[in-house]
Amino acid sequence: MGKLKIGIIGCGGIANQKHFPALQNNSDLNEIVAFCDIIQDRAIKAAEEFGADGAKVYTDYKELLADSEIEVVHICTPNVSHSQIAVDAFAAGKNVYCEKPMSHNSEEAEKMVEAWKKSGKQFTVGYQNRFRPEVQNLHAACAAGDLGEIYYGKAHAVRRRGVPTWGVFMDKEAQGGGPLIDIGTHALDITLWCMNNYDIDSVTGSVFYKLGSLPQATEGNLFGPWDPETYEVEDSAMGFIKMKDGATINLEASWALNILDSKEASTTLCGTEAGAEIHSGMSYDKNELIYNRARNNQLMEEKLSPVGGVAYFGGGGGEEGTIDCKQWLEAVQNGTEPLVKPEEALAVTKILDAIYKSAAANKTIEF
């Protein structure tokens, strides 16, 4: 089979930091033949740097979807546009890789899944943190039953001061939310995937708008001071998630929180046989996985050798991004399932959406 023909919709930060390098690192499997962005110069620049010979440039994604040469599209646009673009892409007969989260609410995400099922095409969502070595190790341990019954978990996505000051991250209309659906989504995905538990019973949430509008809170921000006047989304959100079998997950997500221990794309799992924690984020120079259990009548800790970082702020595609991209392209070529399944990504969106709805209504959301 020849190289897959890729079309990119959205040529901003995540496309440049993750998708373009990862696709380039898998150039034996693909070539990018089309670029679309509402800012034409951005699409032209991307085409010149990453495109195949004769790559086309569009400002209207529907024109890109009408190109019969394109087999796969990557959706790298703001959250609220994911659903409509994906639905149209499936109707046009394209395979779809959508950047996380699947969508900004459950209703729109369900439309995406429905369109995918009708299309017969492949669909995945960008939860590349599953491919980090320590996450793979923990998932394998959980699948083997090493932790026993996992009945309690924590999904950590907390930055002390790490508000993204570029793009539309603080624009509620474009994104649908703040840190909860930006970084909380990764921590929740890791936790649910390792627990292999997607049967949700209820969700209770709290959402805070405390620090975003305070000029003094911008001091020390990793990405420079933000504009308090344009900070529209939450700065923190917390969720209490109960599963049908009684298992419970606490989710914490924040771009700015007065806390010492900053964990991002991290999880804590407690089982009947052992526990495990992944430490990653601003408080840690290197990622680490720590198992805890009793052995020979003593409490023991076992560590996996630390590796790399979490995010794509430095560019280069990241090892996990490259691996994610490779398995996705091979799934399309071979007709096999990608690692991140649409139904799993839908469950993540349903929980995040329920946290927002629970906080707004001041009540528990029952499933």
What are 51-99's pLDDT values in tens digits? 999 999 999 999 999 999 999 999 999 999 999 999 999 999 999 999 9
> What are the boundaries of each domain within the chain?
4-128+320-340, 132-312+346-366
Say if CB 203 and CB 358 are below 8 A apart: yes
Q: What value does the mean pLDDT of the chain take?
A: 95
In terms of DSSP H, where are the helices of 269-335? 319-334
- Looking at CATH, the fold of the domain delimited by 132-312+346-366 is given as Dihydrodipicolinate Reductase; domain 2 (3.30.360)
* pLDDT above 80 for 337: yes
Q: Where are the beta strands (DSSP E) in the chain?
A: 4-9, 30-36, 56-58, 72-75, 95-98, 123-125, 150-158, 200-208, 236-243, 248-254, 266-271, 275-279, 287-295, 298-307, 365-366
Model-level pTM?
A: 0.94
Query: pLDDT (tens digit, 9 = 90+) per residue, 277-331?
Result: 999 999 998 899 999 999 999 999 999 655 544 444 444 446 899 999 999 999 9
Amino acid of residue 249: I
CATH no., domain 4-128+320-340: 3.40.50.720
Query: pLDDT (tens digit, 9 = 90+) per residue, 141-187?
Result: 999 999 999 999 999 999 999 999 998 999 999 899 999 999 999 99
Helix (H) or strand (E) holding 193, with range, is: helix 185-195
Distance CA 339, CA 328 (A): 8
Distance CA 61, CA 81 (A): 11
Helix (H) or strand (E) holding 115, with range, is: helix 106-119
DSSP 41-81: HHHHHHHHHHPPTT-EEESSHHHHHT-TT--EEEE-S-GGG
Asked if domains 4-128+320-340 and 132-312+346-366 share a fold, the reply is: no
Query: pLDDT (tens digit, 9 = 90+) per residue, 109-141?
Result: 999 999 999 999 999 999 999 999 999 999 999
Who contacts 110 (Cβ-Cβ below 8 Å, separation ≥6)?
346
Residues of the chain above pLDDT 90, percent: 93
Q: Which pLDDT value is given to residue 310?
A: 44
What the block records as the tokens of 106 is 């459950």
Distance CA 282, CA 263 (A): 7
Q: Which pLDDT value is given to residue 304?
A: 66
Query: pLDDT (tens digit, 9 = 90+) per residue, 193-224?
Result: 999 999 999 999 999 999 999 999 999 999 99
